[in-house]
């Protein structure tokens, strides 16, 4: 049986005093923990746990019929993944030590301070989620398991790297902690954010905000909302995106561009799980899971003092780094076919064939715009050749040449042709470049010319010169 996600499981309170159960349930609800089940008869607990998982059990020690001192070891033995919090009037040190040795997560003495009680339960929930994540990751590593392939159906890939990310995203999707998704422009960060939200047990909406270019005032108003009269022009109260995303996920895109003052407010939201609408002195509970994305190196920005270190470490509890398309070239053929079919359906025309020469050309292209750039290329070429039976290699070459002129590329990880030792002459370097281009293109001179950034006649002249020089 597939284990239920911790966020969807109830907190179980066991106490023979109804007033304690009612007050504890109200305290947890005020702290944002609403899925609570109570028992005033301790004999009902174990039969309940046999049919229903619990996220956390809060247990009184001294009760009629079946005391907590006997229940605690039974719960720990039968359900070791479920944290147990002991909450009792006993202040004896020996009792506390005994319970902790038995495996209790925490020991609270009545009357418990409300913040301490809520904090203990939330920490226990985090531990429960972490244990399940570890178990899930172990299962994935052993079996290459993925329970919800459909959640990633919008991400077209055959890459093993991407499947590993799918498994990780599925494992952490329900933890409640922030997720930081990084990757170059056009790699599909928003699609991953959608998958994380879909896989979570949060039934609220996915609400998206691009924070790039927002000043602090606009960021605060957009995120937290305002009361009527909070500022000039605020003629009525308005909920912010945190309220709109209640019970769901708040996706903050381009988080690396967030202004310093706004970084402080986001950090407070994550730490306190509450916020103040503009013009209000009354705090509201933030029932949202935060997912962020960036194409910047946040760690580098942090070391330069442009991004708060405390916010960085708070956001990066779970990290998903999406590889660039050039790092998973096995996806190029399937993406090319997918976009050709998608464009064909959109333009209501027959899907053209894919020439082998085109695959060779694209496999040797750097793709600074990644998947988004490939999609734009396919749509552009198909729009220019509405009746073509094959995708035009010539049109792709033109698009690549245009991109190469506007962006000076230096492929990451490519070995330099200039090695230590003898320094090659310009003529020798030219010869090496031409030979390498021909090797990568499988001997296709048109593709090799595109890689070199010259015309095919120009390449033919250079090849003729090389042949002439070799014959002398």
Q: Would you say residue 132 lies in a domain?
A: no
Give me Rg for the CA atoms of the chain.
30
- Identify whether residues 204 and 67 lie together within a single domain: no
Q: What is the mean pLDDT of residues 88-109?
A: 86
When pLDDT is averaged across residues 9-19 and rounded to a whole number, the result is 92
pTM of this prediction?
Answer: 0.69
133 located within any domain: no
Residue 237 reports pLDDT greater than 60: yes
**Any domain includes 291:** yes
Domain boundary, last residue among 323, 354, 372: 323
- 105 shares its domain with 171: no
Distance CA 171, CA 196 (A): 9
Which of 138, 100, 124 minimizes the C-alpha distance to 9? 124
Is the domain of 173 the same as that of 227? yes
In the predicted structure, residue 19 carries a pLDDT above the cut 80: yes
CATH number, domain of 459, equals 1.10.10
pLDDT reading at 408 higher than 70:
no
Q: What is the pLDDT of residue 5?
A: 56
**Same structural domain for residues 213 and 276?**
yes
Q: Which domain-ending residue is among 288, 323, 358?
A: 323
Task: Supply the pLDDT for residue 379.
Answer: 94
Q: With CA atoms as reference, report the closest residue to 137 among 163, 167, 176, 181.
A: 167
- For the record, the structure tokens of 157 come out as 């890939």
pLDDT range class, residue 417, cuts 50, 70, 90: very low
Residue 293 included in any domain: yes
* 395 contacts 446 by C-beta, under 8 angstroms: no
Examine the domain organization and report whether 319 and 343 are in the same domain.
no
Residues 353 and 276 in one domain: no
Stretch 193-218: mean pLDDT: 93
What is the per-residue pLDDT for 409?
A: 44
User: Does pLDDT of 127 surpass 70?
Assistant: yes
Pairwise pLDDT comparison (309 vs 171), residue with the higher score:
309
Number of domains in the chain: 4
Specify if 134 maps to a domain. Answer: no
Instruction: Round the average pLDDT of the chain to a whole number and report it.
Output: 87
Partners of 251 in the beta sheet?
A: 208, 291
Residue 187 shares a structural domain with residue 333: no
- 306 & 218 share domain: yes
User: How confident is the model at residue 419, as a pLDDT?
Assistant: 46
HEC assignment per residue over 285-298:
ECCEEEEEEECCCH
Answer yes or no: do 153 and 30 share one domain: no
pLDDT of 315 reads 95
Dihedral Cα 82, 83, 87, 91, nearest 10 deg: 130
Domain co-membership, 25 together with 157: no
Considering 323, 340, 366, which residue would you say is the last residue of a domain? 323
- Given a cut of 60, whether residue 422 has pLDDT beyond it is no
Instruction: Write the CATH number for 362.
Output: 1.10.8.60
pLDDT tens-place string over residues 23-45: 999 999 888 888 899 999 999 99
Whether 181 and 285 map to the same domain: the answer is yes
Supply the pLDDT for residue 140: 65
pLDDT in tens, 336-347: 999 999 999 999
Q: What is the pLDDT of residue 464?
A: 78
* C-alpha to C-alpha distance for 154 and 439, rounded to whole angstroms: 35
Q: Is the per-residue pLDDT at 423 higher than 70?
A: no
CATH number of the domain residue 74 falls in: 3.40.50.2300
Q: Are 361 and 393 in contact (CB under 8 A)?
A: yes
**Residue 105 is assigned to a structural domain of this protein:** yes
Report pLDDT digits (tens) over 187-201.
999 999 999 999 998
Please tell me whether residues 178 and 44 are part of one structural domain: no
Q: Which domain holds residue 264?
A: 146-323
What digits encode the pLDDT tens for the residues 282-301?
889 899 999 999 999 999 99
391, pLDDT greater than 50: yes
Query: What CATH number is associated with residue 204?
Result: 3.40.50.300
């Amino acid at each position: 049986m597939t284990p239920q996600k911790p966020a969807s499981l109830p907190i179980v309170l066991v106490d023979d005093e109804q007033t304690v159960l009612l007050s504890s349930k109200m305290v947890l609800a005020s702290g944002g923990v609403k899925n609570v089940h109570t028992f005033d008869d301790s004999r009902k607990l174990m039969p309940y746990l046999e049919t229903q998982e619990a996220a956390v059990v809060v247990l009184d020690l001294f009760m009629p019929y079946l005391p907590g001192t006997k229940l605690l070891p039974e719960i720990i033995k039968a359900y070791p993944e479920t944290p147990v919090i002991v909450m009792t009037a006993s202040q004896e040190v020996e009792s506390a030590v005994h319970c902790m040795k038995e495996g209790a997560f925490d020991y609270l003495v009545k009357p418990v301070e409300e913040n301490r009680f809520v904090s203990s339960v939330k920490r226990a929930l985090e531990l429960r989620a972490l244990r399940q994540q570890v178990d899930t990751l172990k299962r994935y590593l052993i079996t290459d398991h993925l329970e919800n392939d459909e959640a990633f159906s919008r991400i077209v890939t055959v890459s093993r790297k991407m499947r590993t990310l799918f498994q990780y995203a599925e494992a952490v999707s329900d933890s409640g902690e922030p997720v930081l998704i990084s990757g170059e422009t056009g790699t599909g960060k928003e699609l991953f954010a959608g998958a994380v939200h879909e896989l979570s047990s949060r039934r609220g909406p996915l609400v998206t905000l691009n924070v790039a270019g927002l000043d602090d005032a606009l960021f605060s108003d957009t995120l937290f909302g305002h009361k009527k009269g909070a500022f000039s022009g605020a003629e009525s109260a308005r909920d912010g995106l945190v309220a709109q995303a209640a019970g769901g996920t708040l996706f903050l895109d381009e988080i690396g561009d967030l202004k310093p003052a706004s970084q402080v407010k986001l950090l407070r939201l994550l730490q306190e799980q509450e916020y103040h609408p503009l013009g209000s002195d009354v705090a509201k509970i933030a029932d949202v899971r935060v997912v962020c994305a960036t194409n910047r190196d946040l760690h580098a920005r942090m070391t330069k003092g442009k991004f708060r270190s405390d916010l960085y470490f708070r956001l990066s509890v779970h990290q998903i780094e999406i590889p660039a398309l050039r790092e998973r070239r096995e996806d190029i053929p399937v993406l090319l076919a997918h976009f050709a079919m998608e464009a064909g359906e959109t333009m209501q025309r027959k899907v053209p064939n894919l020439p082998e020469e085109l695959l060779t050309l694209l496999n040797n292209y750097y793709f600074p715009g990644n998947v988004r750039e490939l999609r734009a290329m396919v749509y552009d070429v198909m729009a220019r050749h509405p009746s073509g039976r094959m995708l035009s290699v010539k049109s792709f070459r033109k698009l690549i040449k245009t991109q190469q002129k506007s962006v000076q590329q230096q492929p990451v990880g490519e070995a330099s042709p200039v090695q230590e030792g003898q320094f090659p002459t310009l003529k020798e370097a030219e010869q090496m470049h031409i030979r390498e281009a021909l090797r990568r293109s499988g001997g296709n001179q048109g593709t090799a010319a595109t890689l070199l950034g010259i015309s095919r006649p120009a390449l033919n002249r250079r090849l003729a010169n090389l042949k002439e020089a070799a014959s002398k």
